[in-house]
Amino acid sequence: MRIVPALLGAVWLLAVAARPAEARLADLYAGATAGGMTGWGSAKTRDFFATTRGGGLGVGLGMKLLFIDVSANFLQTLNGSGTSGTLIQLLLGGEVDVPLGRTKLHDGEPQKLLKPKLAVGFGFGTPGPVAYPLTDEQVSAKGVVADAILGYEYFIDPFVAVGVEATFGWHYFFGGDVVNSVETSSSGYHVLGLGTVTFHLGR
């Protein structure tokens, strides 16, 4: 259990020590992701991340003002027969942009950014593909998540960036049809590794 405070502390120290970025003060962004996730937990019921893991495709969108970041992320995992379970996260966190190198875009913004972020929020998992609108009957697990995220972005132009993102987090999930039963809850850790293509609109 000590690894989570240590990791969060390390990311926070990196954010505090970083020199101010010459990047956007406000940003609205959306993009596509590809990669995978896994996880584990100790509980009387099977942990969602231990049973829903592997490669996947996703989308995300968010808004950032100064260092406050609000985002929604969706990841659809895949298996040998096609689409499998899904993970939806609604997160509120703090993120800083750390310029790397001296190369800048034509408008003066840095071309390469390191993006450490700490976030907390809610997670929802389904054992199969989502049929919209999402209903509680589809949700196999739901609860709180706390994520330490380290991202890297390379801006092709002022509005489009490609990058990678690594997440190590902690979760406490209930079964989809309960809210407080210990017998149907699970807690543990999860890891995500994603490639990203993100469209930014902001200054």
Domain ranges (residues) in the chain: 3-202
Whole-number pLDDT of residue 23: 55
Q: Return the pLDDT at 130.
A: 83
Q: Which is nearest to 89 in space by CA: 19, 37, 164, 137?
A: 37
Per residue in 156-196, pLDDT (tens digit) is 998 999 999 999 999 999 875 444 444 578 899 999 999 99
* Average confidence (pLDDT) over 20-35: 81
Q: Residue 79: what pLDDT?
A: 80
Residue 188 is predicted with a pLDDT of 92
Predicted confidence band of residue 9 (pLDDT cuts 50, 70, 90): low
CA 58 – CA 27 distance, rounded (Å): 20
- Residue 4: C-alpha distances to residues 67, 177, 189 (Å): 22, 28, 9
pTM for the model: 0.81
pLDDT of res. 33: 98
| Cβ-count burial 145-175 (b if 16+ within 10 Å, e if not) | bbbbbbbbbebeebeebebebebbbbbebbb
Task: Please report the pLDDT score of residue 18 as a whole number.
Answer: 43
Is the predicted pLDDT of residue 39 greater than 80, yes or no?
Answer: yes
SS3 180: coil
Neighbours of 182 (CB within 10 A): 11
Q: Report the CATH architecture of 3-202.
A: Beta Barrel (2.40)
Phi and psi at 109, nearest 5°, equal -80, 150
Amino acid type, 39: G
